Amino acid sequence: MPPQKIVRCKVEERKDIFTFKTEQKVFTIGNIKVGGQPGENPPLLIASMFHNKDRLLQDRKGNFDRQRARELIKRQEELSSITGIPSMVAMVANTPEEAKIYIDFYLETTDMPFGIDMWVAEKRIKTTEYIAKLGLQDKFLYNSITPWDKDIKAQVQRLKDLGIRHVVIQVFDDTDQTPYGRLKSLDYILSQGADQFDTILVDTSVMNLPATSFSLIANRLIKEKYGLPAGGAYSNGTNMWKEIKDKWGIEGFRVMDAVAQAIASNLWSDFNFYGPIVNAPRIFHAVATAHILLSTLVYHERNSVLENPSLPIKLYFNEFVEKLISGAKARRVKEAV
């Protein structure tokens, strides 16, 4: 058989994957920075507590296992410190009265920022009034303004009146469930006055595991157009795949969950609602590992190492980072000659 002819393709100009020409916004919530160019800041991990079926709950009247809840919050703080991944907690409540109990407990336990997860807009606003009364606007993340809210303009105005600074905008279009539909949804919500807050995080609505990719592409589109931090509740996609626990077992599910959320955190995601706080050990370690790889991908694309000293790659591979910096400097000197 005669040897095949090798066809050499013309090398095209490289297209950046992890670098946006649009200026990327970086916001500060409490002591946490979120947003920026991919890799600039580790993704913010937001845990869920007091959700339905949470073993901490004894009832929906504000009775729960306080000792265990405190242990879980302190464990998340520890994981955040050792990995360099920033974190907070979103507390689920059915009523403003229930939410107040969780908020008071949380404030006694930690200095981390926090959010409240309530589906009904009127109840969210009522709870937000209590938070504003406590003067906690700097460390509170309002979650969220959604396309299903009846009067977005009125909601935005009430939040502004309360001095709320940091909000999540959830985007989705029932008539166009593609990434572009999510972008159109954001365009509309911003036009209703939601562009007026100090911090805007865009949740691109994960519907199931494979459709998570639509949310990730939407992240990229949003960062390209607006430079806003984008992310999602990637645990929604993994936890909706309920039958996989029977097929793969609980360990198989846990691996799938960690892998999916780690990969998603690297694809233009600035934050991740990662699910129950009890899952913190596997998620923090998985996301930290993914971000170490992202840092090297970013270095290859930009020929520079990001300065943030809290990056996981600097915490665990600083000697390697120093070699990369030295190599980049040497190349720039050579190119300048």
Q: Please report whether residue 64 resides in a domain.
A: yes
Q: What is the per-residue pLDDT across 191-215, written as a single tens digit (0 to 9) for each?
A: 999 999 999 999 999 999 999 999 9
Q: What is the per-residue pLDDT across 26-57, written as a single tens digit (0 to 9) for each?
A: 999 999 999 999 999 999 999 999 999 999 99
CATH number at residue 176: 3.20.20.20
Q: Please report whether residue 5 resides in a domain.
A: no
pLDDT at 174: 94
Q: Please report whether residue 91 resides in a domain.
A: yes
pLDDT at 16: 87
Burial degree of 4 (CB within 10 A; 0-12, 13-18, 19+): exposed
Mean pLDDT along residues 182-192: 98
Q: Please report whether residue 314 resides in a domain.
A: yes
Q: Which domain holds residue 104?
A: 26-336
Q: Please report whether residue 12 resides in a domain.
A: no
Domain count, the chain: 1
Q: What pTM does this model have?
A: 0.92
Give the pLDDT band (50/70/90) at residue 238: very high
Q: Please report whether residue 1 resides in a domain.
A: no
Q: Please report whether residue 72 resides in a domain.
A: yes
C-alpha gyration radius of the chain: 21
Q: Please report whether residue 141 resides in a domain.
A: yes
